């Protein structure tokens, strides 16, 4: 096929000249012939087609040729590129729009799935989820309050608590310290009576008494000091029954308490039961198992509803997981009492006599009869536990509603939409009926602290008490003050059983207490004074630590071979009051 522009020969199937790029018409299709170009006979040169030149055509012929059907329009490379770019841009825009639409849809779908999964996960064990929300909120409150954090310091399952009271030459210290992982315990009682000669007319006895007790899983040691007399004994706990021959519990020898063989055996059975359980595990009496069982009772008996809702908590709109346990029958009472009975029978297995006594006591607790009595007096019974939990599994608000025959009460505790940063806790007690809800009392504790001063204000309003209690503490010196300013509307109206009687309002409702409170990373020491009946001050020191301050005592005196007279001196120190 020859190009009509430059005359160069091209392949019959090509529509653009490979030399000049001009469009080559399909003459065979135009003439209606379907024969290929190779089959044409050009033997007669005079009949052979000659190259076409625009110079030989008139202007009308050229215009007619160029304006003919689109098949004959001349296309350049720029036209092709422009077409492809436009098409590519359109495709790209479509893809981008599709991706955006898919992303938006995916966001809502994924959010819906996550929300749905969260509700589904809560529904699998709603009671456990509620308990964990309490723990989360309590932990955030503790971390936000240095006093509360120090007072509840149990990070290592260790604790030491010591209280000292002193007044006019008399002082008394009591202390206990426990290390649960190591299973060690220490206790101390110490008294000092450096009293005046005048006071000795009324009291005669040792001026100094100090008693210490230490135990681990191998031995127990007791040390006692009374003035100049000192006594210390130990007991090997591994084989106590076999070695207890002349002990204060033993049926042979001196037998301080004069008990018979059967009583002695029973006492030893109880000891071995407790000792063996403590030695084997950290939950010796199955309390955790019982708690789990009771949780299952709530999930099994209650009409449970879990939903994600937009609610109002302390005046703020927020999203919440609302978990409601509703009990419309006494099934929950039956289940709880039955599980407690079963737990008692399964856990306590000391000896035949004690087991029989336990069975007899439990048999008298007829669950069905008790429930029947409740049903007969409560035709309409409803108990509701409603909890509002945020996305961080922190408890924002809890409600307990009890209603019997249309009358009952409602208890509401509010921690706020974000308990970790909340500055206010509210407790509200109200009576409820089918007609209305009447608030009896509202107590609000507000945190007004600054870096220089801790300040908490408890405000009371309602029918029982009105007023406030204010606690302030200088964070630098530790000096604190607690003041009460309360009154009772019922007392003012002459009501019976008022919380704050009018005749003692000055001593009870308006009290001011001052002292010092020092807080370290893992301990707290509080000292304060309060007036005594004789006008003198009683000084009190309270110390609590998250560490076990244990004095590991030792002794060479076996209690099981001690004399009765020596044991009696320890157990019953000679002292008397001449009043």
Same domain as 106, residue 46: no
- Position 519 scores a pLDDT of 86
The 3-state secondary structure of 545-574 reads ECCCCCCCCCCCCEHHHCCHHHHHHHHCCC
Kind and range of the H or E element at 189? strand 184-193
- Position 497 scores a pLDDT of 42
CB 322 within 8 A of CB 307: yes
Same domain as 117, residue 106: yes
What spatial distance separates the first Cα and last Cα of the chain, rounded to whole Å? 143
- Position 397 scores a pLDDT of 93
Same domain as 29, residue 63: yes
Task: Give the CA distances from residue 570 to residues 8, 214, 562, in Å, rounded to whole numbers and listed in that order.
Answer: 132, 16, 11
For residue 404, being part of any structural domain is answered with no
Same domain as 43, residue 5: yes
Judged on CB neighbours under 10 Å (0-12, 13-18, 19+), 356 is: exposed
Same domain as 86, residue 52: no
- Position 190 scores a pLDDT of 92
Structurally, how many domains does the chain consist of? 2
What DSSP assignment string belongs to 360-372? HHHHTS-HHHHHH
For residue 517, being part of any structural domain is answered with no
Same domain as 66, residue 19: yes
Same domain as 27, residue 17: yes
Q: Which one of 124, 152, 182 terminates a domain? A: 124
- Position 37 scores a pLDDT of 44
- Position 219 scores a pLDDT of 92
Judged on CB neighbours under 10 Å (0-12, 13-18, 19+), 172 is: middle
Kind and range of the H or E element at 110? helix 77-124
- Position 215 scores a pLDDT of 94
For residue 343, being part of any structural domain is answered with no
For residue 18, being part of any structural domain is answered with yes
For residue 64, being part of any structural domain is answered with yes
Same domain as 48, residue 89: no
Q: pLDDT 10s per residue in the chain (579 long)?
A: 677 777 777 777 776 677 776 667 765 544 444 444 444 444 444 444 445 444 455 556 555 555 554 444 454 555 555 555 665 666 666 666 665 555 555 444 444 444 457 787 887 788 888 888 888 888 887 777 766 766 665 556 889 999 999 887 788 999 999 998 888 999 999 988 776 666 566 555 677 889 999 999 999 999 988 877 788 889 888 888 877 766 666 666 666 667 787 888 888 888 888 888 887 766 767 777 788 888 788 777 778 888 988 999 988 899 999 998 888 777 777 788 888 888 887 777 888 888 888 888 777 777 777 667 666 666 677 888 899 999 889 999 999 988 877 788 899 999 999 888 888 999 999 998 877 888 899 999 999 989 899 999 999 998 888 899 999 999 999 999 999 888 877 655 554 444 444 444 444 467 788 999 998 877 889 999 887 766 678 899 999 988 899 999 999 988 877 777 777 666 665 544 333
Give residue 69's domain range.
1-75
Same domain as 105, residue 95: yes
For residue 83, being part of any structural domain is answered with yes
Same domain as 48, residue 85: no
Same domain as 71, residue 1: yes
For residue 438, being part of any structural domain is answered with no
Same domain as 36, residue 19: yes
For residue 80, being part of any structural domain is answered with yes
Judged on CB neighbours under 10 Å (0-12, 13-18, 19+), 339 is: middle
């Amino acid at each position: 096929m020859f190009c009509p522009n430059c005359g160069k020969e091209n392949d019959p199937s090509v529509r653009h000249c490979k030399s000049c790029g001009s469009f080559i018409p399909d003459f065979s299709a135009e003439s209606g012939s379907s024969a290929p170009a190779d089959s044409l006979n050009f033997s007669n040169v005079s009949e052979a087609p000659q190259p076409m030149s625009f110079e030989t055509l008139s202007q009308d012929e050229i215009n007619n040729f160029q304006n003919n059907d689109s098949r004959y329009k001349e296309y350049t490379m720029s036209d092709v590129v422009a077409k492809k770019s436009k098409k590519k841009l359109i495709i790209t825009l479509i893809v981008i729009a599709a991706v955006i639409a898919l992303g938006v849809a995916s966001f809502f779908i994924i959010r819906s799935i996550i929300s749905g999964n969260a509700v589904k996960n809560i529904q699998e064990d709603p009671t456990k989820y509620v308990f964990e929300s309490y723990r989360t909120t309590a932990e955030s409150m503790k971390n936000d309050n240095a006093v509360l954090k120090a007072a509840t310091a149990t990070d290592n399952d260790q604790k030491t608590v010591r209280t000292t009271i002193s007044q006019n030459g008399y002082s008394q210290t009591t202390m206990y310290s426990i290390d649960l992982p190591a299973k060690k315990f220490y206790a101390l009682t110490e008294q000092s009576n450096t009293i005046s000669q005048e006071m000795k007319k009324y009291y005669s006895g040792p001026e100094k008494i100090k008693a210490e007790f230490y135990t681990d899983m191998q031995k127990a040691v007791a040390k006692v000091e009374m003035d100049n007399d000192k006594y210390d004994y130990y007991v090997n706990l591994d084989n106590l029954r076999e070695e207890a021959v002349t002990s204060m519990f033993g049926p042979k020898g001196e037998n301080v308490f004069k008990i018979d063989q059967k009583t002695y055996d029973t006492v030893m059975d109880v000891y071995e039961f407790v000792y063996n359980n403590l030695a084997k595990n950290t939950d010796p009496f199955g309390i955790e198992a019982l708690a789990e069982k009771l949780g299952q009772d709530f999930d099994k008996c209650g009409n449970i509803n879990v939903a994600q809702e937009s609610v109002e908590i302390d005046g703020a709109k927020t999203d919440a997981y609302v978990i409601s346990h509703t009990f419309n029958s006494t099934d929950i009472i039956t289940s709880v009492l039955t599980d407690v009975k079963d737990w008692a029978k399964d856990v306590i297995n000391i000896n035949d006599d004690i087991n029989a006594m336990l069975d007899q006591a439990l048999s008298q607790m007829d669950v069905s009869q008790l429930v029947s009595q409740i049903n007969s007096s409560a035709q309409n019974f409803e108990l509701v536990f409603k909890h509002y939990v945020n996305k961080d599994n922190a408890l924002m608000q809890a409600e307990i509603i009890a209603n019997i025959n249309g009358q009952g009460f409602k208890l509401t505790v509010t921690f706020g939409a974000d308990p970790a940063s909340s500055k206010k806790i509210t407790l509200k007690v109200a009576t409820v009926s089918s007609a209305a809800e009447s608030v009896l009392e509202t107590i609000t504790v507000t945190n007004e602290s600054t870096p220089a001063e801790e300040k908490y204000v408890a405000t009371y309003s309602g029918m029982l008490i009105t007023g406030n209690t204010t606690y302030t503490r200088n964070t630098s010196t530790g000096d604190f003050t607690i003041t009460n300013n309360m009154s009772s509307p019922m007392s003012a109206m002459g009501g019976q059983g008022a919380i704050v009687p009018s005749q003692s309002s000055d001593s009870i409702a308006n009290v001011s207490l001052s002292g010092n409170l020092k807080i370290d990373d893992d301990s707290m020491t509080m000292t304060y004074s309060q007036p005594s009946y004789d006008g003198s001050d009683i000084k009190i020191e309270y110390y609590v630590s998250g560490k076990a301050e244990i004095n590991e005592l030792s002794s060479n005196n076996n209690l099981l071979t001690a004399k009765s007279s020596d044991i009696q001196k320890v157990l019953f120190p000679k002292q008397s009051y001449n009043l």
